Amino acid sequence: MVEAYSPVAHGEALKNPAIAKMAEKYGVSIPQLCIAYDLQLGLVALPKTANPDHMKSNADICFTISDADMEILKHLPRIENYGEFGIFPVYGGKYKD
């Protein structure tokens, strides 16, 4: 089973207007959309938060992303800069899929 560690891309997904617009369309938060996306891809999502309210919200995934929107999410441009997290191979461009 493949893990989706940090399904909000260390916060970078929060800055993406296309993701924000789609989350608004579904009436959910950006983290909820990102977690649902990972789950619909068949991944195990491991969101991290120390905030109990965020934990509860993150677990409240009671919606399905349409096939068309899944395709849009799959083809969003890759994040170019993960800031301080760019040192990790998967974020620093050293990992190729």
Instruction: Report pLDDT digits (tens) over 4-62.
Output: 667 887 788 888 999 999 999 999 999 999 999 999 999 888 777 788 888 888 888 99
Token pair 């089973």 in the structure block, residue: 1
Give the CA count within 13 Å in the CB-facing half-sphere of 60. Answer: 11
| DSSP-derived 3-state class of residue 44 | strand
Q: What is the pTM of this model?
A: 0.79
> Rounded CA gap, 31 and 69, in Å?
16
* Amino acid 55: pLDDT: 84
SS3 category, 5: strand
Please tell me the distance from the alpha carbon of residue 28 to that of residue 21, in angstroms, as a whole number: 10
